[in-house]
Amino acid sequence: MTLNPLRTLFLMLSRTPPAIMLLMIVGVAVLITVTVTSTESGRDKAFNEQLQDLERKNSAKTKVVYVIKDIADGQVITSEALEEKEIELTRTPQDAVTSSTIAIGRTVKYGVSMGQILSTHDLAPQGISLSFESHVKEGMRAVTFAVDANSGVAGFIAPDSHVDILGMAGSGADTRVAPILSDVQVVAVGQMFERQAKNQANPAGSVTVAVSPEDTQKLIKALSASKLYLSLRNGRDHTPVATVDVTALYPRPAKLAATNSGEQALSNLAPPPLPEFGVGQIASAPFNSNNGNSAQVPPPLHEIEMWTGSKKDVVSVPK
C-alpha cells in the first residue's frame, strides 16, 4: 500500500526529535531567504543596467548639418550655407545629413530655410539636373542684360549671388549714378545657372536676374536709358537700399508756376490808371466830317478785364 507523500513527511517529522526539527525549520527558512534575496538582487542589477543604458542613450550626441542660409529649390549647396553641430541623439531625425561633405555640391530638390536640419530627402539624386525654370521663383521674372569685366564685378558674380543694380547717365561733370534695384538675385551667369562647387571667377558677357513684374519694366527702362553696373553683396546681407527711377538721372527743366485752376496768376498785374477830368471839363474829340459840322462826339471806351480767381469782370473807362 502506497502512502501519500505529505503523509509520509508528516510521519517522519512526528518521529523526529524537537531539536532536529527546529534546525531543519531554520535551515529551510535560511534557504528560502537566500533564494529570495538572490533573485531580488539580480532583478535590481538588471534594472540598474537598463537605467544606465537608457541614460547613456539620452546623453549621447551625434553630428548633424544645419542650414544657415536660405537655399531655393534647384540650387547647388555651397559650404557657406551649411554648418555642422552636435545635438542629442534623441532629437536627431532619422534622415538627417550627418556630414556637410555629403551635401556640398549637391542640388536641393526642395527649398530649405535657414535654421533647418538638412535632410537626405532635401537633396536631389545625383546625376539629375533640374530645369532652368525651376531656378526662377514663382511670381518672379527672369531678365538678361549684357555686362563686361567692369560692370560685372570681374566675373566673381555666380548663380544665387545677390547684387544691387546701379544706373549711370551723363558724362563728365554731369555724370549721375544711383541704385535702380536693390538686393536682386542672380539666377544665371552666361549659360551657367547652377553654382559650381569651386569658388573661382567666371567671366561672362551677360547675367540673368530674377525680378518682380513691376521691377521688370523698371529694369528694361533703365537698360535703354543708362549703362548698368552690378554691385556684389555679401551672401548674408539683404539690407535694402533706396532706389530711384532712371529718369531721376537726367536734369529736369524748370516749370512755370500755375494756379490751382491751371491758369496763370494775374494777381501781380495792376490795371492801367484812369484819366483825370476836372468838373465841367470836356475831353477833346476828333472832328466829325460826316455831318459837316464841328459837333464833338465822345471817344470810344477802353475795356479792362479784371480777374478774381477764375471769375472775369469787364470795366469800361475812357481812354
Q: Are 73 and 110 in contact (CB under 8 A)?
A: yes
| pLDDT tens track for 185-242 | 999 998 887 776 556 777 889 999 999 999 999 999 999 999 999 999 998 899 999 9
- Reading the block at residue 80, the C-alpha cell is 557657406
d(CA 224, CA 204): 21
Q: How far apart are the first and last CA of the chain?
A: 173
Look up the pTM and report it.
Answer: 0.44
Positions of the chain with pLDDT under 70 = 1-7, 9-16, 21, 57-58, 126-131, 196-199, 253-299, 302, 307, 309-311, 315, 317-319
Tell me the sheet residues that pair with 96.
119
d(CA 142, CA 207): 10
Fold of 62-122: Type Iii Antifreeze Protein Isoform Hplc 12 (3.90.1210)
